[in-house]
Amino acid sequence: MKLALSSYAYNWAVGIPGYPPERPMTVFDLLDQAVRLGVHVVQVVDNIPFELLSREEQDQFVKRAVQLGIEIELGMRGIEGDHLEQGIQLAGRIHAKVLRVVVDKGNYRPSEEKIVQTIQGVVPWLEKYGVRLAIENTERFKARKFAELVELIGSKHVGICLDTANNYGIGEGIEAVIEALGVITFDLHLKDYSIRRMSHQLGYILEGSPAGQGQLDISWILETLMQFGHDPNVVLEIWTPPEASLEDTIKKEKEWVDQSTKYLRGLVLD
């Protein structure tokens, strides 16, 4: 297992709609943070759409990552049209071994049949470029449904990007997710969280926390995945609750990333 730094670890610094930072974080800044933290893998996902960078910027990024000894993974959202095929070709060109994908994008919510058909259609491209496609479990389906889709696609190049918090959006515990998806997991989106009662006691709030400071049993998750015989990268993501100002929120986010990487380094072999 290798520890990886996602651009989703820096949501506020990159920019969330309605909360524009004075200077949004770039892919080059993400590399700088990885170097500072001693992390050797970065995953650039759809909050910094890599495909929208110029060819020159893409090549500069890859060149710098190679010089720094940092592996690249890509993430994208949506499988409509030839978008997925283009993403695979881009991943292959920059030697990204893993392409994580969220199948839905905005109002585009393909049927189960369409998901299987579309991804089966790009398997030759995955084989050609040596890319593994990791479908992220979201609140769209239960974990077992994602497992069924991967089984129907029927390719060793297609598996799961297992997210440790998305499952709560469909009322599913992490144990059920690991049981259903652990054996086909290529990547692990690790974000810790805490769940507490609201002040009036009528309901709960789920909030992000630094890795190791929430309620997620991270050691158990990593040990269980290893027992399946796989070696997924552990990709750090963080849901940072906002502070009174965006500046303070970005500062808090950075501190949480620092605390999380320090904790995870004691658990992850990289």
pLDDT digits (tens, 9 = 90+) for 126-177: 999 999 999 999 999 999 999 999 999 999 999 999 999 999 999 999 999 9
pLDDT over 90 (residue 270): no
Domain 3-265 falls in which CATH fold? Answer: TIM Barrel (3.20.20)
Is 164 in contact with 176 (CB distance < 8 Å)?
Answer: no
Report, as an integer, the average pLDDT of 174-188.
96
Give the pLDDT band (50/70/90) at residue 89.
very high
How high is the pLDDT of residue 168? Answer: 94
Which of 221-230, 240-249, 258-267 shows the lowest per-residue confidence on average (mean pLDDT)? Answer: 221-230
Return the domain boundaries, the chain.
3-265
How high is the pLDDT of residue 201? Answer: 93
Half-sphere exposure of 64 (CA within 13 A, CB side): 15
How many angstroms separate the Cα of 82 from the Cα of each of 49, 76, 134, 154?
Answer: 16, 13, 17, 21
Residues 6+ apart with CB under 8 A from 89: 125, 129
Eight-class DSSP state of 185: E
Give the pLDDT band (50/70/90) at residue 230.
confident
